[in-house]
Homo-oligomer: A and B are copies of this chain.
């Protein structure tokens, strides 16, 4: 059993190519003995974005703060904001962008453990 909050979880810049202004935290994951999947949290600075990429793992997301867009494989932008749940299925090209000029965009991104 573990109980934590984001102010207790280390935050590291996302190093992946194509990431702009993204910080990663892992409040629940491998290090805690999670058996199957991890809860990561990404914080995107105003104007920043995650990589526009594709991979064979899914994302299950919950938007914690702010507003932005989820870009689909065709390049279409779908608005998302705090309180939304979103899912990207395996092999679906995608990107999250923070569309605000002033506020952070923060979301839970759950993935199978191997992709933590």
A→B interface (CB under 8 Å): 1-6, 27-28, 32-39, 58, 60, 62, 70, 72, 78, 80, 83-90, 92, 94, 108, 110, 112
Tell me which of A27, A33, A36, A84 has the highest count of chain B C-beta atoms within 10 A of its own C-beta: A36
Q: Say whether A85 contacts B39, CB under 8 Å.
A: yes
Q: Say whether B60 contacts A62, CB under 8 Å.
A: no
User: Which B residues lie within 8 Å of A78 (CB)?
Assistant: 1, 3
Q: How many chain copies?
A: 2
Q: Say whether A87 contacts B32, CB under 8 Å.
A: yes
Q: Say whether A3 contacts B84, CB under 8 Å.
A: yes
Q: Say whether B37 contacts A3, CB under 8 Å.
A: no
Q: Say whether A72 contacts B1, CB under 8 Å.
A: yes
Q: Say whether B34 contacts A87, CB under 8 Å.
A: yes
User: Which B residues lie within 8 Å of A35 (CB)?
Assistant: 58, 89-90
Tell me which of A3, A5, A27, A94 has the highest count of chain B C-beta atoms within 10 A of its own C-beta: A3
Nearest CB in chain B: distance from A21 CB, A: 22
**A/B interface sample: 6 pairs, CB < 8 A:** A3-B78, A5-B83, A5-B84, A33-B89, A62-B62, A62-B108
